């Protein structure tokens, strides 16, 4: 007998078996989320329908309709100014800031007070707080009606007394409410502003909107008229001042001309400039002549104490014709002396006469050179005097021109003052006449372009939007509740979830059978009252027979996690399905809560499995045949009197004291007699089906699984917690128990079809025989 679990665990039932891993746990299965939502679609739909119905009822009965009266105003900040010159103002102001300022003015309290007075809203039933319906919750009135002073004197003084409102209080409250119900907004990116007034009465809403707009335009017009009057008065005052200033400026200009004797400043300045230019040119020539004379004079002066030959070499001296003639005469005399000196002695009369002529020529030359040098000195002195005279004349002309320029500058300053004052005076005179001519013209910057009309439909409550939002929120809450319920409902609902979670083959999905007793359920396959149920049992039988062809599975254990999951029903019907094909024995191994005797009406004291193991009955006497099916009930645990297998009976410490003491089931199932009995039965039957106790509650199932070739694990749909099933199967697999597969039992197919559980379509469309 091969008890290897790999023979069963590693054989998949379907090719698309899901493998659970850590990545799958971190990934959101959108298909699974959709299935959860689809299963709860009717609940979500009813929730949405109920919430929408409540929303419609609340909107219709409890919420007062509100109507909006809208008036559109056009603003223009490009109105031409009263004066054409640029005023000194802040240049950072833009059209947007201007419109924002007008928006704030439209929301001012002064404008609201004008509308309240104009429409007499303090006595209107809709806006007058005194005419509004009283609230049912009035704790102060209740305390006042109790007359607390009769119970405890002075207690009523602790309760603040609310004085009746005065007319001023009513006016302030109505004004404040109107401001709260007024909204000013921009119309796109234009220069339009829209006044929206929201009130319960459509006629009153339109009237208030138009009143606010008209009051605003009137206030703007009043402000414009006052500004025009103020401007005219200011311009008159300013005009008188400008006229006085102009007269004073003209008088000052004329006085300065007379004082300085100015007639034509421009002509005088031109003549002086010409004279200065001519004097400057002459001074330049004189300076050049003086420099040349000074150079000649300095050369002659430097050589005046030298010899005659050096002095005569001066260019100014040498260029003199007389000097040139005297030099020639002296040269002739010198040549004659030199000739006679070579011929005669020093005392020769001819030589003495020649020397005398030489001295006379030299004396004449020296005198002529001295005269020339004196002439050069006189010329230098004349050039110096001429230069000094021209410089003095030039400086005099320059001082005269500068004086004329100063007078011209002062004269022009006075003239500019007269011209500017006259121009400003003439501008004011012109604008004053224009202002007086257009004083009655409407210069307001705002006008009404679209007055309010009586609204036909209420702006609030927006029933469709409210109901839509409520429906959407209800749907979201329904989806969240469905996902939460699915998350908290830790049970198996579909075959795919069972395969992916347990990682073992799913052998069959057994439908829920209603209105059947325990006895009828045990014989359901044999009676063939429910074709769907019978077909699922045949599927289970087919898998078992296919397994038997590969690896013999004579001993098949049927167990579950907890009691009430239908394992006994599966075991009984599986044994019944195998009976027409092979010889089968059904063993009820649940000694604590036996069901076989109850299902088939066996006598309560009939012997069974416990008796065989304990040795108190023969095996042949305990086996009961019902049709072609042999059954071995659980029996009653009584101390043995005879060992039918030739082995010592189980020890019992109470044998000598209490003959009615029953050994624990674990002791019986772990006895070697259990294994020997199964060996005997395997030689007689092709299949032995064992109905085991629950696996989690007691260890009987684990003891029985050690003697089994295959274990079929029954799980009740939408009932047994997944963690308990996983823990029980893990315990069996750790004990090397061959878990053949699982059966999803008691599946409500109608509920599965209604909520979209994914099961085999065979059961949904099955129509085999009439009921």
Question: Residue 491: inside a domain, yes or no?
Answer: no
Neighbours of 54 (CB within 10 A): 13
Q: Is residue 67 within 8 Å of 455, Cβ to Cβ?
A: yes
Pairing type for strands 67-75 and 192-199 reads antiparallel
DSSP state of 656: T
Segment 345-385, tens digit of pLDDT: 778 888 788 888 888 877 877 777 777 777 777 877 888 88
Q: Say yes or no to pLDDT of 473 above 90.
A: yes
- Kindly indicate the confidence band of residue 405, based on its pLDDT and cuts at 50, 70 and 90: confident
What does the pLDDT read at residue 488? 77
Question: Residue 528: inside a domain, yes or no?
Answer: yes
Q: 647 vs 212, which has greater pLDDT?
A: 212
Q: ∠ CA 107-112-113 to the nearest 5 degrees? A: 145
Q: Say yes or no to pLDDT of 32 above 90.
A: no
- Kindly indicate the confidence band of residue 20, based on its pLDDT and cuts at 50, 70 and 90: very low
Rounded distance, CA 426 to CA 419, Å?
10
Q: Say yes or no to pLDDT of 477 above 90.
A: yes
What does the pLDDT read at residue 142? 61
What does the pLDDT read at residue 337? 81
Mean pLDDT in residue range 589-596: 86
Q: Say yes or no to pLDDT of 617 above 80.
A: yes
Q: Is residue 283 within 8 Å of 394, Cβ to Cβ?
A: yes
Instruction: Say what percent of the chain tops pLDDT 90.
Output: 11
- Kindly indicate the confidence band of residue 470, based on its pLDDT and cuts at 50, 70 and 90: very high
Q: Say yes or no to pLDDT of 558 above 90.
A: yes
What does the pLDDT read at residue 10? 35
b/e code 191-220 from CB counts within 10 Å (16+ = b):
bbbbbbbbbebbebbbbbbbbbbbbbbebb
Segment 311-321, tens digit of pLDDT: 556 666 667 77
Segment 274-328, tens digit of pLDDT: 777 787 787 788 888 878 777 777 777 665 555 555 555 666 666 777 777 777 8
Range of the domain at 736: 505-650+659-764
Mean pLDDT in residue range 57-78: 84
Q: Say yes or no to pLDDT of 651 above 50.
A: no
Residue 695's CATH number: 3.40.50.300
Q: Domain total for the chain?
A: 1
pTM exceeds cut of 0.95: no
Helix, strand, or coil (residue 83): coil
Question: Residue 566: inside a domain, yes or no?
Answer: yes
- Kindly indicate the confidence band of residue 79, based on its pLDDT and cuts at 50, 70 and 90: low
Question: Residue 299: inside a domain, yes or no?
Answer: no
Segment 232-250, tens digit of pLDDT: 888 888 888 888 888 888 8
CA distances from 190 to 70, 73, 99, 193 (A): 17, 11, 10, 8
Q: Say yes or no to pLDDT of 145 above 70.
A: no
Question: Residue 523: inside a domain, yes or no?
Answer: yes
Question: Residue 688: inside a domain, yes or no?
Answer: yes
Question: Residue 718: inside a domain, yes or no?
Answer: yes
- Kindly indicate the confidence band of residue 596, based on its pLDDT and cuts at 50, 70 and 90: confident
- Kindly indicate the confidence band of residue 714, based on its pLDDT and cuts at 50, 70 and 90: very high
What does the pLDDT read at residue 406? 76
Mean pLDDT in residue range 457-486: 88
CA distances from 81 to 420, 435, 440 (A): 21, 10, 15
Rounded distance, CA 526 to CA 624, Å?
17
Question: Residue 45: inside a domain, yes or no?
Answer: no
Q: Say yes or no to pLDDT of 585 above 90.
A: yes
Q: Say yes or no to pLDDT of 49 above 90.
A: yes
Rounded distance, CA 684 to CA 283, Å?
162
């Amino acid at each position: 007998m091969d008890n290897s679990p790999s023979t069963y665990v590693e054989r998949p039932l379907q090719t698309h078996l899901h493998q659970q891993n850590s990545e799958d746990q971190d990934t959101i299965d959108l298909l699974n989320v959709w299935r959860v939502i689809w299963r709860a679609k009717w609940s979500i739909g009813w929730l949405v329908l109920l919430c929408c119905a409540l929303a419609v009822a609340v909107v219709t009965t409890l919420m007062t309709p509100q109507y909006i009266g809208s008036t559109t105003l056009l603003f223009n900040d490009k109105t031409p100014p009263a004066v054409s010159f640029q005023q000194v103002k802040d240049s950072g102001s833009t059209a947007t800031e201007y419109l924002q300022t007008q928006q704030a003015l439209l929301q001012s309290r002064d404008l609201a007070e004008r509308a309240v007075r104009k429409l007499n809203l303090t006595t209107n039933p809709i806006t007058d707080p005194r005419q509004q319906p009283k609230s049912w919750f009035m704790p102060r009135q209740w305390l006042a009606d109790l007359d607390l002073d009769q119970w405890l004197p002075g207690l009523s003084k602790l309760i603040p007394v609310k004085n009746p409102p005065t007319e001023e209080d009513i006016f302030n409250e109505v004004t404040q409410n109107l401001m709260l119900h007024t909204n000013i907004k921009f119309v796109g990116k234009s220069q339009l502003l829209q006044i929206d007034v929201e009130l319960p009465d459509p006629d009153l809403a339109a009237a208030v909107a138009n009143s606010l707009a008209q009051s605003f335009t009137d206030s703007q017009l009043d402000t414009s008229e006052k500004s025009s009057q103020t401007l005219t008065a200011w311009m008159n005052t300013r005009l008188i001042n400008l006229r006085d200033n102009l007269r004073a400026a003209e008088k000052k200009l004329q006085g300065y001309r007379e004082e300085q004797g100015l007639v034509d400043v421009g002509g005088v300045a031109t003549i002086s400039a010409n004279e200065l230019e001519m004097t400057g040119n002459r001074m330049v020539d004189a300076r050049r002549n003086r420099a040349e004379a000074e150079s000649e004079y300095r050369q002659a002066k430097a050589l005046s104490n030298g010899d005659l030959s050096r002095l005569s070499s001066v260019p100014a001296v040498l260029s003199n014709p007389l000097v040139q003639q005297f030099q020639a005469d002296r040269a002739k005399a010198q040549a004659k002396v030199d000739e006679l000196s070579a011929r005669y002695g020093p005392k020769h009369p001819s030589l003495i006469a020649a020397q005398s002529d030489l001295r006379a020529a030299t004396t004449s030359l020296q005198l002529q050179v001295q005269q020339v040098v004196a002439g050069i000195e006189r010329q230098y002195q004349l050039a110096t005097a001429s230069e000094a005279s021209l410089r003095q004349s030039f400086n005099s002309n320059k001082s005269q021109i500068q004086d004329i320029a100063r007078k011209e500058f002062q004269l022009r300053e006075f003239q500019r003052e007269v011209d500017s004052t006259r121009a400003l005076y003439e501008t004011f005179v012109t604008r004053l006449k224009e202002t007086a001519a257009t004083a009655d013209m409407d210069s307001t910057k705002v006008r009404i372009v679209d007055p309010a009309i009586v609204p036909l439909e209420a702006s609030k409550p927006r029933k469709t939007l409210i109901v839509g939002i409520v429906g959407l929120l209800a749907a979201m809450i329904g989806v969240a509740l469905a996902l939460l319920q699915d998350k908290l409902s830790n049970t198996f609902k579909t075959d795919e979830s069972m395969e992916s979670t347990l990682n073992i083959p799913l052998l069959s999905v057994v439908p829920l059978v209603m209105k059947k007793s325990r006895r009828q359920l045990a014989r359901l396959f044999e009676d063939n009252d429910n074709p769907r149920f019978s077909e699922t049992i045949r599927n289970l039988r087919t898998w078992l027979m296919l397994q038997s062809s590969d690896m013999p599975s004579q001993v098949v254990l049927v167990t579950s996690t907890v009691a009430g999951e239908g394992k006994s029903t599966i075991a009984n019907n599986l044994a019944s399905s195998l009976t027409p094909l092979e010889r089968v024995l059904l063993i009820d191994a649940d000694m604590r809560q036996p069901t076989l005797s109850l299902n088939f009406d066996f006598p309560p004291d009939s012997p069974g499995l416990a008796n065989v193991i304990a040795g108190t009955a023969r095996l042949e006497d305990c086996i009961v045949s019902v049709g072609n099916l042999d059954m071995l009930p659980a029996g009653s645990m009584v101390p043995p009197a005879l060992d039918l297998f030739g082995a010592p009976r189980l020890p019992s410490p109470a044998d000598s004291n209490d003959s009615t003491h029953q050994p624990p089931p674990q002791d019986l199932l772990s006895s070697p007699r259990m294994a020997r009995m199964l060996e005997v039965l395997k030689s007689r039957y092709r299949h032995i089906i064992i109905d085991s106790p629950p696996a989690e509650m007691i260890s009987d199932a684990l003891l029985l699984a050690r003697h089994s070739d295959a274990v079929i694990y029954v799980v009740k749909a939408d009932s047994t917690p997944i963690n308990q099933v996983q823990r029980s199967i893990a315990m069996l697999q750790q004990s090397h128990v061959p878990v053949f597969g699982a059966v999803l039992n008691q599946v409500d197919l109608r509920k599965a079809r209604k909520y979209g559980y994914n099961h085999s379509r065979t059961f949904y469309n099955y129509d085999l025989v009439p009921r």
